[in-house]
Structure 1
Amino acid sequence: MNSVQGRVHPDFASVSERLSEWSSADPDYGAQVCVLVGDEVVVDLTCGPGADAITGVYSVTKGVAGTVIALLLGERELQLDRPVAHYWPEFAAAGKAEITVRELLSHQAGLPATDDGIRPEDALDSRAGAERLARQRPLWRPGSGFGYHGITIGILMEELVRRITGQELQAIYDDRIRSPRDIDFYLGLPDSQAARYVDPRPAFVGDAPDPGPRDNLFAASFGPVGQAGDALLNGFGPHTPAVRRRGTAAAGGVGSARGLARLYAATLGYIGDPIAPPDTFADMGQMHVRGRDLVLDIPLSFGVVFMKPHADMPFGSFRAYGHDGAGGAIAFADPAHGLSFGYIPTRMTIPGGVDARAIELSSLARVAAGRARRPR
């Protein structure tokens, strides 16, 4: 049975048709998808159980938090090529005096964890987490490679913002970005929205292989070294009430696909006053690193905070920037098409990272946007 609801511009009917095909073929499938071209909503569709709720999107949150970094860059409060220690003197310890903000926020600093791993309390209390990271010697020579700072980039962003402004990143996002533009995405879920929240449904998982000693960079980046556990469900993700109340900058954001698409439209200057000058997002959205990630051991590409499309994850044009999440969600802006996109599945996908169906819907939307621009 087709359960797709919502509205779609006739030029983007292919997106609705594909969503309907998936919904009809798999009654368990559910998702939200929203696309804006400029400030016009051209796709706003939901299907499946709970698809019209707000939910957690894991690392998609990083791109949302990155808009606060863009705000400070645009106001010259923060400069990418200054050493982090200029803003945060204690960070210079253990050979880190020369690490720049640009290197730090493009996953090159070698700080995805401390020597004994990373703990949920480090993210929930990012002041304490930042103190531990300031004392840490980089786990590789900064600039010699890159590896996903899955939890720590949130801690590092929060501390940088705190050092510069004296405020919490979450408060600046809410006061200066979310509220003025009526964006349905929260870094810190307020009590007034709590009734709308629905947990992401766990993925269907078979028998898991023995993880071995859990002493590699991946294990250290998502938990204490040597301890088994599931970081997605145990302490770091939005399933944990304290995480979504705090709205941790790495993985604690909660909202809707509509909210994500509207936020990324705002980064393109289409919603409300510009968050930052276009050159700021162009710099952050420029590819800084590409190759095999030292932590996740998969091909990835990053700008400053934001992910970039690449051959294994072609979510947008070469100019696009955004972020995916462990549950399958993704959101991005694509300046080449003037398009913004948000997608959230109701059931988490395996393996972690963007749901392949989101990539297909994005492709259909970009083709439709290109056709709509042609003279008729």
Structure 2
Amino acid sequence: MTVSVEGTVAVGYEPVRAALEASGATEHGSADCCVYAAGECVVDLRAGRRPEDAFALPRDPALRGVPIIASNGYTNARGLARLHAWLPTALSADTLRDLTVARIAGPDVVLSAPAMAIEQHFSRGFEVLQAGSSSAASGHHGLGCAMAFADPAHRLAFGYTTSAAHLGPPGGDARVRKLTRAISACVPRS
């Protein structure tokens, strides 16, 4: 299914728009994708329609007042990408390297099932990812398939949010994989 996509894309990053259009990310809602390269926003896209009640629950004061670890953050793709673009400018080179070294690795005992072990790798505060253009990416998968990462080696940051949640293992959403492959293909090789 091809959907209408609005927003801006810098020259050389057109494949990201095509990947979002073709991803099917908006069959039941909306999706936002944002990419920063070398500190500049090169992709800022919104697709699909937002359900009428998409933001009713997160705005409920009763819910916002309950401390739910790893679930009380509410943002969009642009906010996630900006945060991950800022981190390499705010942290030392040693700290950035430390964020890509797995301190804990193995099957996730909460998400895994007897028939399917879900392997996770975490550094200090972030998931160690290989979703970007190199294995030096760190970030995190979020509820329903939101994702963000920073790839300091390529000065790249990515944020993705959707109102059409994917229920499954982290990194198992084909929509995000299509987008990260498209972004990786746009990154200049040295």
**CA offsets per residue over residues 320-359 of structure 1, 9 Å max, x none?**
1001112110111011211000000111112253433112
More helix as a share of residues = 1
Equivalent in the alignment of 2:95: 280
Secondary structure at the residue paired with 1:308?
A: strand
Secondary structure at the residue paired with 2:124?
A: coil
**CA offsets per residue over residues 284-340 of structure 1, 9 Å max, x none?**
33111222123322111111121112xxxx412211100111211011101121100
Report the CA distance between 1:44 and its aligned residue: 0.4
Note the aligned Cα RMSD (angstroms): 2.8
Equivalent in the alignment of 1:329: 146
Q: Structure 1 residues 357 and 301, CA, compared in 2 at 3 Å: closer, same or farther? A: same
Q: 1:113-192 to 2 correspondence within 5 Å?
A: none
Equivalent in the alignment of 1:250: 70
> Does the 8 Å CA contact 2:26/2:47 hold for their aligned counterparts?
no
Larger Rg: 1
More strand as a share of residues = 2
Secondary structure at the residue paired with 1:348?
A: coil
Equivalent in the alignment of 1:356: 174
**CA offsets per residue over residues 175-221 of structure 1, 9 Å max, x none?**
xxxxxxxxxxxxxxxxxxxxxx7258xxxxxxxxxxxxxxxxxxxxx
List alignment gaps of at least 5 residues for structure 1.
52-196, 201-237
List alignment gaps of at least 5 residues for structure 2.
113-117
> Does the 8 Å CA contact 1:330/1:343 hold for their aligned counterparts?
yes
Equivalent in the alignment of 2:3: 2
CA distance in 2, matches of 1:199, 1:282: 39
> Does the 8 Å CA contact 2:85/2:157 hold for their aligned counterparts?
yes
Q: 1:90-105 to 2 correspondence within 5 Å?
A: none
Equivalent in the alignment of 1:14: 15
Of residues 125, 131, 153 in structure 2, which corresponds to 1:315?
131
Equivalent in the alignment of 1:28: 28
Equivalent AA in structure 2 for residue 362 of structure 1:
T
- TM-score where L is the length of structure 1: 0.44
CA distance in 1, matches of 2:59, 2:108: 27
Report the CA distance between 1:21 and its aligned residue: 2.1
CA distance in 1, matches of 2:165, 2:103: 29
Percent of aligned pairs with the same residue? 36
Report the CA distance between 1:246 and its aligned residue: 6.2
Moved more, 296-305 or 7-16: 296-305
Q: Structure 1 residues 17 and 248, CA, compared in 2 at 3 Å: closer, same or farther? A: same
Report the CA distance between 1:20 and its aligned residue: 1.5
How many pairs does the alignment contain? 182
- TM-score where L is the length of structure 2: 0.82
